[in-house]
Structure 1
Amino acid sequence: MLQFVTKIKLLFNNLTGKIGFYPSLFAFGGLCLGFIMLYAESQGISKFLIKNAPKLVINDADTARTLLSTFIGGIISLMVFSFSMVMILLNQASNNYSPRILPGLISNKRHQYVLGYYIATLIYSILVLLSIKPTDNKYQLPGFSVLIGIILSMLVLALFIYFIHSISEAIQINKIIETIYQKAKTRLSELINQTDDEYSREDFPDSSNWKTVRIDETGYLQTIATGALLEFCKEADCKIEILVAKGTFILKNVPIAKCDIDLDDKQRDQLLTCFGFSRSEIVTHNYILGFKQLTEIAIKAMSPGINDPGTAITCIDYLSELFALRLCKEDFSYFNNEDQQAVISLRTINFKELIYFVFAPLRVYCKHDIIMLHKILTALFFLLQSDSVIEGYKEIIIGEANMILNDAKEAISNKNDLDAVFAIREKIVAINTTDLSLTTLSTD
């Protein structure tokens, strides 16, 4: 039962990421509201209002049809303009920043709500308009339904103003960067709080002889339902090791997990329902993608076609904060059962891999830029000063600083500029208590 619920949740998560999901729900709601109001009209709601509050009801058929026709035409125009604005936003974001950020912009629910409300009001107005007959007298007109249509159409204008404000904010690069950062930070914080790393590293057994489970789908490993996995391990009395990190693109028939017992076909199917796949990547499900997106935006900003070092510097600032949070997390993740025994081992991107794949492209694209090199080294210096540096991470950070300084030494010919870059090295050496090769580098 838990696996079925998990599968429904994964399907729902995939659906809500589509740009047309919420507009479709709003459209269905507008259709239902239209039929409900027509039913209420057949029960005499307009007649009641004419007798008790006549000023609230339109009692002229031509006036009602003209108003509704005008609203329908206006809403269609606003809807076309709004959809055009969304497409312009997506095109500009893809060209100037990174195509990877498009799923996050598409899944912006506020814009989907506004577009959905447009469609719902349009459908409602069309239904009410079709119910008006030229020969209707004031007691036969759906006067109350027309009044509701007028109110809904007025709200369309208010939402259009809000939409313009929202879309003008969403297209700003600082807003995009902050949104990516907040989503990655939230997800990383959740993982730090959820996993039981402290008590489980020594408890989890060696899995070299365990049975392999292969996947029968293709796509990005988007989510892992750990709750359902824990329930599965309890029912099957087994332990699971996940072989693939979240966010990885997996081909069909690739090993995805290991189990310490032989699983029958039913158990295998139950296990595989705990993995959610998608053809797109979403930051809220994988914090590593946040690092990737910020890195790609910084690299794109440093390209000759864009030439926006300010954006690249902003990305490095946010990356520094994310790395500072990542310093609090071990390179392994385990989940314990009710008896505090480690039963699930997750494959994670270790800190060395993460910091390399972030700073390696930055080194290549920024090694000639003094300001960017200074900013990158300052970020590494900031990480070394953190109080939560896990053992072994300091050597990784200093090793990355070594590679940056080596590239700078080869790429920069001006001695004064090189001295300015190597001045950061002196700060790193001053706080470094271990004998590392960083101190051997020289500008000579």
Structure 2
Amino acid sequence: MLFRRIYRLHERIKADWRLLALVSYLLVAGLTTALHLVRPGDAEASLDGFLATLAGILTSVVVTTFSFVFVALQLASVQFSPRIVRSFFEYDHFSRFFLWSFLACVAYLLGLSYFGWSGATLIYPKFGIVGGFYLLLLVFPLFIHHVITSINASSITRNIAQRTIQEIETLYEPAEAESWSTEVVLVVAKAAGYLEAMRYQTLYALFPAAPDVSMRVRFHIGSFVMAGAVLAEIRCPASRRAFYDDLVPEIQACFLIGRFRSYEQDIPFGIRQLVDIAIKAISPAVNDPTTALNCLDYLGAIIRKAALSDMTSREAKLLQQKNIAIREFSFEQLVDLAFDQIYSWGKDDYIIVRHVVKTVDNVVPFVQDADKLLVLCRQVDDLELQYLHTDPAVFRSEYLPGTPFLRREHRNSLRNYLDDFYEAVIAQIEALPRPDEALERKKAEYTAFRAALGLES
């Protein structure tokens, strides 16, 4: 949490070029004074060569860095919009600070040599040297991180939205807001962004245990939250409302809202990234189905781990002791997130569809919960491939118009993978100690599909 606080302080300083310049000047001036006191320097020594070398290094860094920046911006403008190039310099204080501070330092170093103020006993060249190393060792790495962050799609859309919202606030007066209900205490978001994580332990220690008081969190981790949106609501007796009203600022601090989603506590975020890679890989522009298959393999590994886990987290169980209910993704939501969109974009490619079936088939032997097994069954059933078993023309006709897969070879391949899935589900149902009625019906259905083709065991 200390690193997060330092990072947020750094972001606040970086947002205002005046504050950034002041902090930088004070740091360099303080370090220069300390250096001058510790090492006064030799009266006969000159720092001309050192100043010229440092000025050359700074110049090379600026030229090389902005060459790469312009290439990156050009690629980003092609992908998003050509107007983001202008926005990068016009509204980005840190980028302008980086450019002008490097140029100013180079001019200062060359000016010292030109006017003869390069003696080792003088404080002026030391100020330039410390400033140069400050730019190279601190500002330059931060600028690289800043550029990588700034050309991210989430940062671009966030900055555009923030500038537009600020313009609305400038032009229009706020409308009269309706009063909140007095029945509950509402915890609202101070700013818009993604709910990166929650400080569960802090919330648990902060919230008093009372049988007649409860708190319900409205958003999943990873959800986008608008400014002013209700993060949580606290139901309490009217006599204690004032106490919980005073507690709201501390509860707000337990909700970490930022510009990006985070791996911390956000399981669907990893799934979302693999799905995005797979979708882009099977697009006509990229046409790389092997990458999509790799993504499906690892999505299967994630779903397998989820199938073997209790989907109520340790933090949720802890907070339930104090009547705090948080929202978490169910196993069914994770399965849908992992496979639905890939199938939607790749449903005309029998390789993709076949691998979706195979991936779910690989997970089935690990599922010991009846509800989770039904989720996997529904996932494959929703692919609507049952006609491969029920329609005799499917395996007789060499070319079958009106179906997603025209060639018999492709249909037979899919049918074989479906058979493997049905067989695995039937075996897993039989292995369960007490399968429920829904699973027994699913077993009878899958047995009938296999029997239609003489494939039952």
TM-score by length of 1: 0.63
Decide which moves more: 413-422 or 256-265: 256-265
Q: Deviations over 1:120-159 (max 9, x none)?
A: 8877666555555634575546798499679959x88xx9
Measured in 1, the distance between the counterparts of 2:104 and 2:50 equals 16
The answer to whether residue 391 in structure 2 is matched with residue 411 in structure 1 is no
Label 1:137 to 1:152 Cα distance change in 2 as closer, same or farther (>3 A).
closer
Label 1:10 to 1:399 Cα distance change in 2 as closer, same or farther (>3 A).
same
Measured in 2, the distance between the counterparts of 1:339 and 1:360 equals 32
Secondary structure at the counterpart of residue 46 of structure 1: coil
Q: CA deviation at 1:420?
A: 0.6
Q: Deviations over 1:145-197 (max 9, x none)?
A: 499679959x88xx99xx9xxx9xxxxxxxxxxxxxxxxxxxxxxxxxxxxxx
The 8 Å contact of residues 336 and 342 in structure 1, kept in 2 or not, is answered as no
Q: CA deviation at 1:378?
A: 1.5
User: 1:399 is matched with which residue: 378, 384, 387?
Assistant: 378
Q: Deviations over 1:225-257 (max 9, x none)?
A: 212210122377744332321222344665543
Measured in 2, the distance between the counterparts of 1:272 and 1:138 equals 56
Label 1:135 to 1:12 Cα distance change in 2 as closer, same or farther (>3 A).
closer
Q: For structure 1, which runs of at least 5 residues remain unmatched after alignment?
A: 1-5, 51-56, 96-115, 168-209
User: 2:331 is matched with which residue: 351, 359, 363?
Assistant: 351
Alignment of 1:91-110 (within 5 A): none
Label 1:373 to 1:91 Cα distance change in 2 as closer, same or farther (>3 A).
farther
Measured in 2, the distance between the counterparts of 1:66 and 1:146 equals 14
The 8 Å contact of residues 214 and 234 in structure 2, kept in 1 or not, is answered as yes
Secondary structure at the counterpart of residue 360 of structure 1: helix
Q: CA deviation at 1:322?
A: 1.7
Measured in 1, the distance between the counterparts of 2:20 and 2:446 equals 59
TM-score by length of 2: 0.62
Q: CA deviation at 1:222?
A: 2.6
Alignment of 1:222-241 (within 5 A): 222-234=196-208, 238-241=213-216
| Aligned amino acid, residue 406 of structure 1 | L
Alignment of 1:186-225 (within 5 A): 211=184, 213=186, 215-217=188-190, 218-225=192-199
User: 1:247 is matched with which residue: 194, 204, 222?
Assistant: 222
| Aligned amino acid, residue 323 of structure 1 | I
Q: CA deviation at 1:219?
A: 3.9
Measured in 1, the distance between the counterparts of 2:370 and 2:274 equals 26
1:310 alignment partner in structure 2: 290
RMSD: 4.8
The answer to whether residue 115 in structure 2 is matched with residue 134 in structure 1 is yes
Label 1:423 to 1:18 Cα distance change in 2 as closer, same or farther (>3 A).
farther
Higher relative CO (CA 8 A, sep ≥ 6), structure 1 or 2? 1
Number of equivalenced pairs: 360
The 8 Å contact of residues 186 and 232 in structure 2, kept in 1 or not, is answered as yes
Secondary structure at the counterpart of residue 431 of structure 1: helix
Percent identity between matched residues is: 15
User: 2:27 is matched with which residue: 25, 32, 35?
Assistant: 32
Measured in 2, the distance between the counterparts of 1:85 and 1:236 equals 59
Label 1:369 to 1:146 Cα distance change in 2 as closer, same or farther (>3 A).
same
Measured in 1, the distance between the counterparts of 2:260 and 2:333 equals 22
Alignment of 1:342-381 (within 5 A): 343-381=323-361
Q: CA deviation at 1:25?
A: 8.5
